[in-house]
Amino acid sequence: MNMSFVVPVKESLKMEYQLPPPPITTPNLVPHQVPVGVMQGTLNHIQTVQDDNNRWTQYHQLWRQHVYMNVSTMSVYMKVIGNDSKLGKILNRDFLGERSRYIEVGTEKIMLPGKFEEYYERIKDFEVRDDDVYILAFPKTGSRWVQEMVWLLLNNLDFKKACEVSLDLRSPLLELEAIFENLVGDFHYFDAVVNLESPRCIRSHLIWPLLPTAISNGTKQPKIIVILRDPEDICTSYYYQAKGIEGYSGNWNDFCELFLGGKVPFGPFWKHVLSFWEQRHRPNIMFVSYKKMKADLIGNIRNVASFLGKKLSEEDVIRMHEHLTFDNLKKSEGFNMEHLIKIKKVDVNPFIRTGVVGGHKNVMSPEVIEAFKQQREHYLTGTDLTFD
């Protein structure tokens, strides 16, 4: 069933369902069928009117708490996050930036920018190729670092191109257009991913159930690399990115509270990371520890190359190690994202700030560190998952 939405006046909305002839008579919509686009206010009732060709739905007043379930599949839970909780108020006050709203998606209630609604089906229907390689991780886990490594392995160690062409053009984030409403320039990132020449290196921050269906149901089994990092360090790094490029205007303590409460984009963190850990027995998945990458970069280069079936000489390994060091990437125009930093006019580059392990200890209060410790014990007990 195709559908389009029309908003003619402030006091009411009309939703047109374009239906093939003959006319179909249907009952009034129930609340879970109302689109996320109905943003604010209080809905009293919905009235459905039928003409010869279409069904029209008149919304009498608007409603603040609304839930939308995809009308064609009736399978996707989406709910706008309102101001009915402390975290919701902080989120909508301090973290909208250029975004208009946030939504909870799926049974896991993953928090995503509202624009994701427009891209959900395109991402689920994304055509996965057998020779794709996917880099999957929560934001600020070191995924761009691993992505740079994988891109080089898939592209015959083309260091020249890696230094001259930005990584976000060589290998765009799958859902980038779905999480930012005002991207700089007219480059279409989603189409770029679709049209990349094989083998593609594709990065995503989406939880396992929201990945392309061909991956989540096992129809296709491309190589997948999942990056793990301590959540305390992720939270610290995420704060600087949120302040720098995502429009977060709140303070550090409130951001920690949002993170712990699962109210940052792609959160809750624990649901996210455990969704991948549940897939650990799949032969096409490899887990990489950020902490181990920092401690033994050369060893991890060899391990990832072996996983991808790539043979490297000792000279190749040394050259890759030199390219992938923090100091070198900080200078590389193909990696450091300085073009975006100049546009955003921020003082600290959040894409390559310090990269240290345990940096959270310098900024987190003992109370926040204890809160993270308690969450670790709660969520990791019996899972065998570690970030070491």
Q: Which residues contact 8 (CB under 8 A, 6 or more apart)?
A: 14
Catalytic residue of the set 205, 272, 323, 360: 205
Residue 355's closest CA among 187, 237, 191, 217? Answer: 237
Residue 252 burial class via C-beta count within 10 angstroms: exposed 0-12, middle 13-18, buried 19 and up? middle
Token pair in block for residue 132: 């794709």
Instruction: Indicate the SS3 state at residue 304.
Output: helix
Q: What are phi and psi of 111, to 5 degrees?
A: -85, 125
Instruction: Identify the helix (H) or strand (E) that includes residue 202.
Output: strand 201-204
Which 3 state secondary structure label does DSSP give 112?
strand
Side chain identity, residue 210: L
45 part of the active site: no
> In the chain, count of helices (H) and strands (E)?
17, 12
Token pair of 373 as six digits: 């410790």
Active site residues: 205
